[in-house]
């Protein structure tokens, strides 16, 4: 459980600095704002579904296991 939290916490800080350059490199500068917005929409959707998973299973243990599994899958 703590390893999953550590993986999420250590990787979250890098996204703020790395995402703009990755988005512009993959999709070009013409659509940077739109694509960057879509990527950050994932944080909002993740917050909603993380809370739903936590409420269904009675805590955030399962939520972090799901996040960890998705991290490994990606």
What is the tens place of the pLDDT at every residue in 3-57? Answer: 888 888 887 777 777 888 888 888 888 888 888 888 888 888 988 888 888 888 8
Q: 39 is in which domain, residue-wise?
A: 2-73
pLDDT of residue 70: 87
The closest of 5, 8, 13 to 59, measured between CA atoms, is 5
Cα 44 to the chain's mean position, in Å? 9
Helix segments in the chain, DSSP class H: 2-27, 32-57, 61-73
* Domain total in the chain: 1
- The Cα 26–Cα 64 span in angstroms is 29
**C-alpha span between 45 and 62 (Å, rounded):** 17
Spatial neighbors of 27 by CB under 8 A, at least 6 apart, are 35
């Amino acid at each position: 459980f703590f390893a999953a939290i550590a993986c999420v916490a250590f990787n979250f800080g890098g996204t703020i600095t790395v995402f703009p350059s990755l988005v512009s490199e993959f999709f070009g500068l013409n659509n940077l704002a739109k694509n960057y917005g879509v990527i950050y929409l994932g944080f909002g959707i993740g917050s909603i579904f993380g809370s739903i998973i936590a409420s269904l299973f009675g805590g955030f243990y399962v939520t972090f296991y799901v996040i960890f599994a998705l991290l490994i899958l990606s």
